[in-house]
Structure 1
Amino acid sequence: MAFAVEALASNPAFFGAVLNYARGMVSMYVENPRLASIFASQQRWLMAQAGIALHHDRDPADASSGLYSGRFIGYVVANGIASRNTAAAFIQEMVAYRFARYAAAPPNRRNRTLEPTEAALDYLWKWMRAHLAILDALDAGARLETLGDDQDGFGRLQSTLACGLVGNDRVRRPGPTFDLFTWVNSGGVVMDDLFSRIATFDPHAERLAIGPVSPGDLSDRFMISKTHLKRIFGKAALLGTMGWERSPGRGEVWLSKAFIREYWDYQAEKFALIDHAFDSVFAQARRQTAPVAFERAPALTAALT
């Protein structure tokens, strides 16, 4: 059985695991900042997921299927992800940075089929495996083992998940502070970095201190304007969801319970969608492995609390 959102959103062990996940996402960004920046804002992340899903859903017998500019732009606009111009610019950028390329033998002259490059697919594999590893740790499951190197299974999993992500308002609009970060380029990884600094997690605390935070350091590491970053921090402070122990920019930074709840609920929704997509694609294998129930993971709970 796949995890329910409520089970993940109410268990501190899950949130502790997510903090480790956040640290992993920051490390993945450092390894390839240009590529990782695609996944570091909500809009670009959804466009990347949608584009790769169109690629995975391609039917060789149907020339109108697959990933090509017109179909991608139409999908993005129809689902309210971005404007036509933004979607077209995204495709051009992916080709320019060699994260996508035109197929060697397009099915017809009208539709120039695109495909993600090995670098883009490898990153998405790592992203997916990081999520599956956390789900496995929570219930002693065998999702990673089941997926293995199954390219076809991964394609079906990714396209199923992308459909769920695009159609889920709680993933796309988790809350006001979350939105401040995730709708700007590299804002998502900045937020992951902030949460990765939580050393001791107390779900009942109104605020959690995360230590000093340098906007200049974050700007340099994550390719985001220092001025823009300060503006985001200022807006979050006005919302009362982030601030400094002393004057703005001085002393330790704290995150509010409300902000932590937004991040937690978002992650619970996303992980549940991933698990349900996995269950849909690999249902028979899941029944054979029969993982233990979520509540029966005492070793993990002890390690994370």
Structure 2
Amino acid sequence: MAFAVEALASSPAFFTAVLSYARGMVAMYKESPRLASIFASQQRWLMAQSGLALHHDRTPGDPSSGLYTGRFVDYVVANEIASRNTAASFVQEMVAYRFARYAAVQPNKRNRPLEPTETALDYVWKWLGAHLAILDALDGRLRIATLSDEPGRFGRLQAEIAHALVGNDRVRRPGPTFDLFTWVNSGGVVMDDLFSRIATFDPQAERLSIGPVSPGDLSERFMISKTHLKRIFDKAAQLGSLEWERSPARGKVWLSQAFAREYWDYQAEKFALIDRAFETVFQATADRVTPVLYERAPAFT
């Protein structure tokens, strides 16, 4: 059985593991900032997942299936992820940065199927592996080993996850402060960085200390303009989600319990969704056990 959202959303062990996961996401960004930036905002993350899902949903012998610019744009617009122009520009950007390419075999002159490059697929493997590692650490199952034994199921698993993400309103709109960060390019990884700084998690604390934060350093590391970053922090402070020791934006920073709960609930929904997708794809081979949260989950590194 897959984890229930409620079990993850009420487990301090899960949230502690998620803080380690956040550190892993920041490290992945450092390794490949250009590629990781695709996943660093909600809109671009959903478009990337959607494009991969259309590619993995293709039916051999059916030239109308698969990833085409037109099909991608239609899917993105139908699911209210972005406008037609934004979706079309995203495809062009992915090709320009060599994260996607036109397939060598073209079914006809009018339709030009696209496919992800090895670089893009490798990143998504790592992204998925980070999530499966947390789930394995929580209940002792062997999801990563199962996927490694049957890598041919990766495409179906990714597509299952992507369509579920797109259709889940609690993943797409977790709360006002979360939305504030994730709808700005690189805002998602900035938020991960803030939570990755929590050394000890106390679920009862009204606010969580993350130590000194330098907006200038964040701006440089995550390729986000100082103006955008200042606007995000100012609005987060107005919402009571983020508090600076000194003004303007200097010294130690505290995150509110409400902000932590938004982040926690989002991660719980996402991890439960990924676990359900894994259960669906690997139901014949995965261990059929009821997941039980360990009191203290090993950290993901």
SS in 2 for 1:284: coil
Contact 2:14–2:297 (Cα < 8 Å) also in 1? no
Q: Which runs of 5+ in 1 are unaligned?
A: none
> In structure 2, what is the equivalent of residue 300 of structure 1?
297
Q: Is 2:220 the counterpart of 1:209?
A: no
Q: Is 2:230 the counterpart of 1:233?
A: no
> In structure 2, what is the equivalent of residue 194 of structure 1?
194
The Cα shift of 1:106 comes to: 1.1
Contact 2:2–2:291 (Cα < 8 Å) also in 1? no
Contact 2:68–2:111 (Cα < 8 Å) also in 1? yes
The Cα shift of 1:251 comes to: 1.8
Within 5 A, what are the aligned runs for 1:106-117?
106-117=106-117
> In structure 2, what is the equivalent of residue 96 of structure 1?
96
Instruction: Tell me how far apart the structure 1 counterparts of residues 291 and 192 of structure 2 sit (CA, whole Å).
Output: 28
Contact 1:141–1:292 (Cα < 8 Å) also in 2? no
> In structure 1, what is the equivalent of residue 50 of structure 2?
50
The Cα shift of 1:12 comes to: 0.2
Query: In the alignment, residue 73 of structure 1 is paired with which amino acid?
Result: V
Contact 1:139–1:291 (Cα < 8 Å) also in 2? no
> In structure 1, what is the equivalent of residue 161 of structure 2?
161
Instruction: Tell me how far apart the structure 1 counterparts of residues 295 and 179 of structure 2 sit (CA, whole Å).
Output: 34
* Number of residue-to-residue matches in the alignment: 300
Question: What is the CA RMSD across the aligned residues, in angstroms?
Answer: 1.3
Bigger relative contact order (CA 8 A; separation at least 6): 2
Contact 1:171–1:266 (Cα < 8 Å) also in 2? yes
Distance 1:260 1:202, change over 3 A: same
Instruction: Tell me how far apart the structure 2 counterparts of residues 291 and 185 of structure 1 sit (CA, whole Å).
Output: 40
> In structure 2, what is the equivalent of residue 24 of structure 1?
24
> In structure 2, what is the equivalent of residue 139 of structure 1?
139
Instruction: Tell me how far apart the structure 1 counterparts of residues 288 and 75 of structure 2 sit (CA, whole Å).
Output: 37
Instruction: Tell me how far apart the structure 2 counterparts of residues 101 and 293 of structure 1 sit (CA, whole Å).
Output: 40
The Cα shift of 1:246 comes to: 2.5
Q: Which runs of 5+ in 2 are unaligned?
A: none
The Cα shift of 1:293 comes to: 3.5
Normalising by structure 1, we get a TM-score of 0.96
Instruction: Tell me how far apart the structure 2 counterparts of residues 90 and 293 of structure 1 sit (CA, whole Å).
Output: 39
SS in 2 for 1:285: coil
Map Cα deviations across residues 189-242 of structure 1 (whole Å, 9 max, x no partner): 000000000011011111111011111100110010011101100000000110
Q: Is 2:61 the counterpart of 1:61?
A: yes
The Cα shift of 1:298 comes to: 3.7
Q: Is 2:33 the counterpart of 1:33?
A: yes
Q: Is 2:220 the counterpart of 1:258?
A: no
Contact 1:99–1:117 (Cα < 8 Å) also in 2? yes
Normalising by structure 2, we get a TM-score of 0.97
Within 5 A, what are the aligned runs for 1:115-134?
115-134=115-134
Instruction: Tell me how far apart the structure 2 counterparts of residues 266 and 118 of structure 1 sit (CA, whole Å).
Output: 29
Instruction: Tell me how far apart the structure 2 counterparts of residues 15 and 108 of structure 1 sit (CA, whole Å).
Output: 50
Query: In the alignment, residue 263 of structure 1 is paired with which amino acid?
Result: Y
Q: Is 2:274 the counterpart of 1:274?
A: yes
Contact 2:215–2:229 (Cα < 8 Å) also in 1? yes
Instruction: Tell me how far apart the structure 2 counterparts of residues 299 and 212 of structure 1 sit (CA, whole Å).
Output: 28
Instruction: Tell me how far apart the structure 2 counterparts of residues 299 and 202 of structure 1 sit (CA, whole Å).
Output: 14
The Cα shift of 1:30 comes to: 0.2
Instruction: Tell me how far apart the structure 2 counterparts of residues 253 and 290 of structure 1 sit (CA, whole Å).
Output: 44
Instruction: Tell me how far apart the structure 2 counterparts of residues 31 and 89 of structure 1 sit (CA, whole Å).
Output: 25
SS in 1 for 2:53: helix
Contact 1:140–1:292 (Cα < 8 Å) also in 2? no
Distance 1:206 1:298, change over 3 A: closer
Contact 1:140–1:291 (Cα < 8 Å) also in 2? no
SS in 1 for 2:132: helix
SS in 2 for 1:252: strand
SS in 2 for 1:270: helix
Contact 1:4–1:272 (Cα < 8 Å) also in 2? yes
Distance 1:149 1:230, change over 3 A: farther
> In structure 2, what is the equivalent of residue 224 of structure 1?
224
> In structure 2, what is the equivalent of residue 5 of structure 1?
5
Instruction: Tell me how far apart the structure 2 counterparts of residues 79 and 291 of structure 1 sit (CA, whole Å).
Output: 35
The Cα shift of 1:292 comes to: 6.2
Instruction: Tell me how far apart the structure 1 counterparts of residues 291 and 109 of structure 2 sit (CA, whole Å).
Output: 53
